[in-house]
Amino acid sequence: MKILVPVKRVVDYNVKVRVKADGSGVETANVKMSMNPFDEIAVEEAVRCKEAGTATEIVVVSVGPAGCQETLRTALAMGADRAILVQTDLTTEPLAVAKLLKALADKEAPGLVILGKQAIDDDCNQTGQMLAALLGWGQGTFASKLVPGDGTVAVTREIDGGLETVELKLPAIVTADLRLNEPRYASLPNIMKAKKKPLETVTPDSLGVDVTPRLKTLKVAEPPKRQAGIKVPDVATLVDKLKSEARVI
Ligand code: AMP
């Protein structure tokens, strides 16, 4: 079984995000970029499937500018076999990404597509669901456990009040949640080996997809700054302030 894993390049989760002065978006110039953390989990799961003998090939895909090659090399160093960059400098919205992934899925015929449950930059949580709809495949979203079977995959999902396990007929779409696994760090020898693994670059046009953005960002604003705290002399004053000022008791 071939597994396709879409990986998005996003601002590193350790970076304190800054809004551009004109409010048009988030500053990405000279900012550390990394693989979306949920996509690292998706790559790790695919690599574990290959190690367990349930997957034969892992193809990673990224949609975005040339810099995404670095993200793809990281996935190759973690254990993916081959990478595809769909190169575009336009903002990539979930529907456009889902259409590109559908075109690639039609070509590559994977048994499983494992995506992250959401990209931490725009928090859309849409691409996997849209891809499942476009392909007409079953989907197991927010997976915390994945067990490949014979022509099926069992996906355990964290839902309100417990765990739900669904069985999907392959080919299928799975989106990875935080507790699915703990991704490995790429070792130096594997980083070196990854430089020689195949990385193909294609364009949205060559896949027959128009990625022109359909949404217009009106404004991006930082959350209001937290007020400084104050020290109170005694418990009585604290209780009084909680009652009269904060009104929480
Ligand atoms: P989103 O729907 O934007 O929250 O993204 C959900 C998942 O879709 C991500 O975790 C990735 O696996 C995949 N994805 C979204 N955008 C891209 C992209 N530009 N390139 C590759 N994969 C993407």
pLDDT for res 193: 97
Tell me which long-range contacts 152-158 makes (C-beta under 8 A, separation of at least 24).
153/112
Q: Across residues 63-82, what is the average pLDDT?
A: 98
> Does residue 137 surpass a pLDDT of 90?
yes
Is residue 142 lining ligand 1, measured as CB closer than 6 Å? no
The confidence band for 162, taking pLDDT boundaries of 50, 70 and 90, is very high
> Does residue 75 surpass a pLDDT of 90?
yes
H or E segment to which residue 102 belongs: helix 94-108
Is residue 7 lining ligand 1, measured as CB closer than 6 Å? yes
Q: Across residues 61-75, what is the average pLDDT?
A: 98
Q: Across residues 234-247, what is the average pLDDT?
A: 93
The whole-angstrom separation of Cα 70 and Cα 65 is 11
Domains of the chain: 2-246 (3.40.50.620)
Give the least confident one: 105-109, 129-133, 218-222.
218-222
For residue 94, how far is its CA from the centre of ligand 1 (angstroms)?
A: 7
pLDDT 10s digits, 186-227: 999 999 999 999 999 999 999 999 999 999 999 999 888 888
For residue 62, how far is its CA from the centre of ligand 1 (angstroms)?
A: 8
The whole-angstrom separation of Cα 129 and Cα 175 is 9
Percent of the chain with pLDDT over 70: 100
The confidence band for 249, taking pLDDT boundaries of 50, 70 and 90, is confident
The whole-angstrom separation of Cα 244 and Cα 230 is 15
Q: List the residue whose alpha carbon is closest to atom 16 of ligand 1.
A: 8
Q: Indicate the pairing of strand 112-116 with strand 172-176.
A: parallel
pLDDT 10s digits, 148-158: 999 999 999 99
